[in-house]
Structure 1
Amino acid sequence: MATFRCSCHQITWGDNLVEALDDIGSFGYLGTETFGTVVSQFEGRTSEFKDMLDARGLQLSALYGGGPLHDPTTQQEAIQHNLEIVQFLHEVGSHQLVIGPSRRDGPPSTEDLRRLAESTAEIGAAAKDLDVTTGLHPHWNTVIQDRDEITQFFDLVDTSLVKLALDPAHIAKAGDDPVEVASTYRDILVYMHIKDYVPALDTERPDTPSSQDHAPRIAFFGELGTGIVDLPAILEVAREAEYDGWLTVELDRSQTTPRESLEVNSHYLTNQLGFDLSNPNR
């Protein structure tokens, strides 16, 4: 039987960690995800970070790492960075590393993909020893963006060490079918980011500032139910696969405020999907 636990990524709040934790905790979410930058931010103070979560009734659902793992000039440094994230996860008692590939400069070569598979497998093996699962996150405008790149990567990598962290909106933005991707890789689906892709917002506005400090300017993702992603169909695939893990609400940039966007997402989860944010859901 599938089990879904609701989490929220802090990306929408930019650098405002405390505000993010306060807002997410106030809606009753079980967990929260943030970036691997907390490893250096809380170096030697892991317990302080955990206390901040505990005070709001939150678990750390995942940390987002990755980087230029396909580039021979940065590969070892990037591997080491992710191993430090894994150690931090272990110390906090969290069990999920999400690896985001680095930005693309055109389609990746076969050698790029081979090195990425090699790097992520090395990280995945070390993570597995610490009871941390590694998931590769296909992401628009990165080395793993298009459907064929997803296929090539998972054909190359050891899937006992590296699983799929799915973000349906990024798959849709790339012009592919997230339901098909979820179905094809259902047996290695270990983590999910959930948001929507809104084609009407997909315009270049590089000079438009974000209302959140240091938050991304990506504006073509929207709150749940506002775009074209068929989340119920994806969740049905996950149920059939007896998925047992997190559903992490994520929105790169709010068109209003982070809290207002979180309210919209929370309303969708509770009213449209019938989820209880504070308890596991079937």
Structure 2
Amino acid sequence: MTNPTNPTPPSRIRVGSAPDSWGVWFPDDPRQVPWQRFLDEVAGAGYRWIELGPYGYLPTDPAVLAEETAHRGLRVSAATVFTGLHHGPDVWDRTWVHVAENAALAQAMGAEHLVVIPSFWRDDKTGAVLEDRTLTAAQWRQLTGLTERLGREVRERYGLRIVVHPHADTHLDSEENVTRFLDATDSRDVSLCLDTGHYAYCGGDSVKLIETYGERIGYLHLKQVDPEVLAEVVADEVPFGPAVARGVMCEPPAGVPALEPVLAAARALDVDLFAIVEQDMYPCEPDRPYPIAERTRRFLRSCGV
């Protein structure tokens, strides 16, 4: 009698997608698909988890949004906010207004996370320089200290965990800056949303980061960059928005980083993680996202998630 084969343990990675993958960057924009179409198509493509996207794009009445998501078999993993906490206490009150409306909706929808993106040092459309791209020591202290405060208050008031998202054209971008931020913040208050595309855009190695700071990885955004387009936009100092319009973010598995080793490293952590597909495509033709979303979901299944 032979021993039965041990079944493969189920993945602890929950895959979803976001309005960003449908070209949605703003609460209201004529070049974006209507929210009903996004919900229909993200469910049709095989995803069961979504992010809320820019506040006001999806219905902000929890009862309406709960009905619209439930009958499509969708659940919410996170909301997203932009912050400029390196500017210090003077920005706290207006930052909290933005945070609170997003966190309240996420909480009402049963989400677990709030994705926090630092503000841009240059305008993401015009390229106009808004401030120095390098933080002073004092600004680093403001950024880390106020981010820890944000983590505590969001957890205490809304039961959500903040996950800070390194992003191109922000002060939290390269391996040097990301590791400096992690080393200076308390793991009890601050986790990381590792966006594989943005980290590659800024020269980072996602697998190395997961292997080195695994206990700080609280959330994933799955994204790839086209290395040829990336080389052009870096050489030309193109801001992030026009770089996206050039196609710097591409459909997997055509770009970098390879997602198979990233997902393997994430699975090795043996923790529950969301892995949300985010292929920046603003602006894009309305019929373009759905076939990409279907192909991407099939690809991720082939990676074991």
What TM-score results when the alignment is normalised by the length of structure 2?
0.79
Match of 2:225 in 1: 197
Deviations 1:24-50 (A, max 9, x none): 0112211011324139x745x221112
How far residue 153 of structure 1 moved from its aligned partner, in angstroms, is 1.2
Structure 2 Cα separation of the partners of residues 227 and 261 of structure 1: 14
Match of 1:250 in 2: 278
Match of 2:248 in 1: 220
How far residue 247 of structure 1 moved from its aligned partner, in angstroms, is 1.0
Match of 1:174 in 2: 202
Q: 1:101 to 1:244 in 2, by over 3 A?
A: same
Q: Contact (CA 8 Å) 2:21, 2:277: kept in 1 or not? A: no
Match of 2:116 in 1: 99
Residue 29 (structure 1) aligned with residue 56 (structure 2): no
Q: What amino acid sits opposite 1:133 in the alignment?
A: R
Structure 2 Cα separation of the partners of residues 194 and 114 of structure 1: 30
More divergent stretch after superposition (100-109 vs 78-87)? 78-87
Q: What amino acid sits opposite 1:196 in the alignment?
A: Q
**Equivalent position SS for 1:246:** strand
**Equivalent position SS for 1:224:** coil
**Equivalent position SS for 1:192:** strand
Identity between Structure 1 and Structure 2 (%): 24
**Equivalent position SS for 1:242:** coil
**Equivalent position SS for 1:269:** helix
Match of 2:214 in 1: 186
Structure with the greater alpha carbon radius of gyration: 2
More divergent stretch after superposition (244-253 vs 257-266)? 257-266
Match of 2:147 in 1: 120
Q: What amino acid sits opposite 1:66 in the alignment?
A: F
Match of 2:13 in 1: 4
Structure 1 Cα separation of the partners of residues 292 and 250 of structure 2: 9
How far residue 95 of structure 1 moved from its aligned partner, in angstroms, is 0.8
Unaligned runs of 5+ in 2: 1-8, 25-31, 122-131
How far residue 139 of structure 1 moved from its aligned partner, in angstroms, is 0.9
Q: How many residues align?
A: 265
Q: Contact (CA 8 Å) 1:86, 1:127: kept in 2 or not? A: yes
Deviations 1:121-159 (A, max 9, x none): 222112222331110111111110111111221122221
More divergent stretch after superposition (183-192 vs 28-37)? 28-37
How far residue 177 of structure 1 moved from its aligned partner, in angstroms, is 1.3
Match of 1:266 in 2: 297
Deviations 1:28-82 (A, max 9, x none): 211011324139x745x22111211112110011111122222234333113311
Q: What amino acid sits opposite 2:18 in the alignment?
A: H
Q: 1:258 to 1:31 in 2, by over 3 A?
A: same
> Could you list the runs of 4 or more consecutive aligned residues of structure 1 that deviate by over 4 angstroms after TM superposition?
none
Q: What amino acid sits opposite 1:63 in the alignment?
A: A
Q: RMSD in angstroms over aligned alpha carbons?
A: 2.4
Q: What amino acid sits opposite 1:35 in the alignment?
A: G
Structure 2 Cα separation of the partners of residues 74 and 135 of structure 1: 20
Q: Contact (CA 8 Å) 1:201, 1:219: kept in 2 or not? A: yes
Q: 1:218 to 1:120 in 2, by over 3 A?
A: farther
